[in-house]
Amino acid sequence: MKVSKIEKSLNRLVGVITLIAVVMVVSVMLLANYTAKLSVSPVAKITSVLGVSTTASSLDIQIINKNYQRLDSGQYSLSLTYQLTNHTNTDINFTAPINLFAFDSIGNKIYRSQYPTDSTTPATLVTAGATITQRIIFTGLDRSSLSSLKLIYQPNDSDDSILIDI
């Protein structure tokens, strides 16, 4: 039985469509797995001298205001005003360019951050029980990534990452 050119073409097309579908499913699964790794509970474990572990609330970050601005280059910037609350009994060093990261929808880290010219400083000591307000600006953003940005807080000396709603 001879296979016509049309049947061969259809078979190839079905093969290509199947391959594309498999690649898309695998990509979605990998992205979901990557996002799940970033969504860690914001609770720090503290180990006492005797080795007994307890839990304590860590530095809490809450977004107060966000502002998108179109730049002359056609890209966008995102200005975030956030509030830091230290729920622990010890002072916490916080350096936004080291501890805060923005990620786009496919998990690319956005490194381009800057500080406004107001009194915000990159390194801050958040004293025990204190609440302070700061601002950071992420630049060089594409329009397509604006609606899907995620903010990640990584505490000092920790591999844990905490997802913060923007």
Query: Please, what sign has the CA dihedral across residues 36, 38, 41, 46?
Result: positive
**End-to-end alpha-carbon separation of the chain, Å?**
62
Tens digits of per-residue pLDDT, 92-121?
Answer: 888 776 777 787 777 777 756 666 655 556
Q: Report the DSSP pairing between strands 150-153 and 113-114.
A: unpaired
pLDDT per residue over 60-75, tens digit each?
Answer: 888 889 898 998 888 8
Domain positions in the chain are 43-164
Who contacts 120 (Cβ-Cβ below 8 Å, separation ≥6)?
Answer: 134, 135, 136
Is domain 43-164 annotated with CATH 2.60.40.1240?
yes
C-beta of residue 84 within 8 angstroms of C-beta of residue 131: yes
pLDDT tens sequence across 30-42: 665 544 444 333 4
pLDDT tens-place string over residues 153-164: 777 666 677 777
Q: Tell me the C-alpha to C-alpha distance, in Å, between residue 130 and each of 76, 92, 123.
A: 33, 10, 15
